[in-house]
């Protein structure tokens, strides 16, 4: 038995080292190749940074429009997905019966397994349908892309919300109810604040998936040289598409290195959004627990 324990422990250590090593290798490779290209000219091109930030001049040969487009895409997609995912997760954990829960769980498991290219194709078909039957001004755009991405990441938020609520101790669930609180008050003031850590995990997964997915946006509105979108119905640029475009059609090693620079900027962007999600989660926990 001791020999088996040692084998399991050794296997666990080896697995952890392999995973950490793989992550460090990926980050190291990107940083090694992309750090040298991180300059103001990579982001703003030949436009003064202040003019670009104040939208006085359009950046045509820099990554600034792609950075803004990526941020807008992520934020709008999360704004679509979080309320729907949170509400559905609460329903499955607190209100759904045994049969309906099984049906919905099966449906969302299937949804989580749908390839992103299929969701992108559905978004493209939706844009064409709206263009033909609603308005000629509607086509592949930022709005369609954000809705398709929200549909893609919904299962992550739904499942993490459901699991985070279902794993709370039974005593915690019954205490407020025993003191006279309603079911909604119990969810609002007791269960959700203590499940925010797990819910935040789903939001972070959604942010990462929205930031990296290329197949969906490739079919639903992203283009090269679109500039900063002026409305939800306009085309846009995004860092994942730029990285894909450069890595598949670069004409020189220097141009390929700009793809590594864009990858590094995308990583920094994601880390910033992850950090913001953690700060919001801590702030919401404090407000709901101590100021409610």
Cα 212 from Cα 241, distance rounded (Å): 9
Cα 24 from Cα 80, distance rounded (Å): 33
Cα 38 from Cα 269, distance rounded (Å): 14
78 to each of 81, 113, 220, 261, how far by Cα in Å? 5, 19, 17, 25
In a domain, 105, yes or no: yes
Domain count, the chain: 1
In a domain, 37, yes or no: no
HSE of 93, CA atoms in CB hemisphere, 13 A: 27
pLDDT in tens, 75-97: 999 999 999 999 999 999 888 88
The predicted pLDDT at position 290 comes to: 62
In a domain, 184, yes or no: yes
- Please check whether residue 285 is in contact with residue 196, taking contact to mean a CB–CB distance below 8 angstroms: yes
In a domain, 52, yes or no: no
In a domain, 30, yes or no: no
In a domain, 22, yes or no: no
Q: Which residues of the chain fall short of a pLDDT of 50? A: none
Q: What is the CATH number of the domain that holds 126?
A: 1.10.3720.10
The alpha carbon torsion through 82, 83, 85, 86 (nearest 10 deg) reads: 100
Residue with tokens 């190291």: 28
- Please check whether residue 62 is in contact with residue 43, taking contact to mean a CB–CB distance below 8 angstroms: yes
Output the pTM of the full model: 0.87
Token representation of residue 15:
């697995």
DSSP output for 110-132: HHHTS-HHHHHHHHHHHHHHHHH
User: For residue 236, what are the domain limits?
Assistant: 60-290
- Please check whether residue 220 is in contact with residue 140, taking contact to mean a CB–CB distance below 8 angstroms: yes
In a domain, 16, yes or no: no
The alpha carbon torsion through 241, 243, 247, 253 (nearest 10 deg) reads: 140
What are 39-46's contacts with CB under 8 Å, separation 24+? Answer: 42/258, 42/261, 43/67, 43/265
Cα-based angle 217, 221, 223 (whole degrees, multiple of 5): 95
Cα 183 from Cα 121, distance rounded (Å): 41
The predicted pLDDT at position 161 comes to: 92
- Please check whether residue 152 is in contact with residue 74, taking contact to mean a CB–CB distance below 8 angstroms: no
How many whole angstroms from its chain centre is CA 133?
31
The predicted pLDDT at position 97 comes to: 84
The predicted pLDDT at position 15 comes to: 94
Cα 242 from Cα 258, distance rounded (Å): 10
In a domain, 44, yes or no: no
Q: Which of 256, 249, 243 is nearest to 211 (CA)?
A: 243
The alpha carbon torsion through 8, 10, 15, 18 (nearest 10 deg) reads: -170
């Amino acid at each position: 038995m001791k020999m088996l324990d040692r084998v399991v422990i050794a296997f666990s250590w080896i697995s952890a080292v392999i995973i950490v090593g793989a992550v460090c290798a990926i980050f190291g490779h990107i940083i090694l190749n992309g750090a040298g290209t991180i300059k103001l000219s990579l982001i703003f091109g030949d436009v003064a940074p202040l003019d670009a930030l104040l939208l006085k001049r359009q950046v045509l040969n820099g990554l600034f429009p792609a950075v803004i487009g990526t941020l807008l895409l992520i934020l709008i997609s999360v704004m679509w997905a979080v309320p729907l995912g949170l509400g559905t997760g609460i329903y499955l954990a607190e209100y759904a019966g045994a049969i309906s829960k099984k049906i919905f769980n099966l449906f969302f498991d299937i949804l989580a397994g749908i390839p992103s290219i299929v969701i992108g194709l559905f978004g493209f078909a939706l844009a064409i349908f709206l263009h033909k039957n609603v308005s000629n001004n509607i086509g592949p755009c930022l709005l369609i892309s954000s809705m398709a991405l929200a549909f893609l990441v919904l299962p992550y938020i739904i499942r993490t919300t459901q699991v985070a609520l279902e794993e709370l101790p039974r005593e915690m669930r019954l205490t407020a109810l025993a003191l006279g609180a309603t079911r909604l008050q119990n969810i609002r003031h007791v269960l959700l604040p203590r499940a925010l850590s797990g819910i935040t995990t789903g939001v972070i997964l959604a942010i990462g998936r929205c930031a990296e997915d290329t197949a969906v946006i490739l079919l639903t509105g992203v283009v090269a040289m679109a500039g900063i979108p002026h409305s939800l119905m306009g085309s846009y640029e995004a860092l994942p598409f730029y990285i894909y475009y450069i890595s598949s059609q670069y004409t020189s090693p220097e141009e390929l290195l700009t793809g590594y620079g864009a990858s590094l900027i995308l990583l920094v962007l994601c880390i910033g959004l992850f950090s913001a999600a953690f700060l919001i989660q801590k702030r919401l926990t404090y407000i709901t627990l101590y100021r409610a």
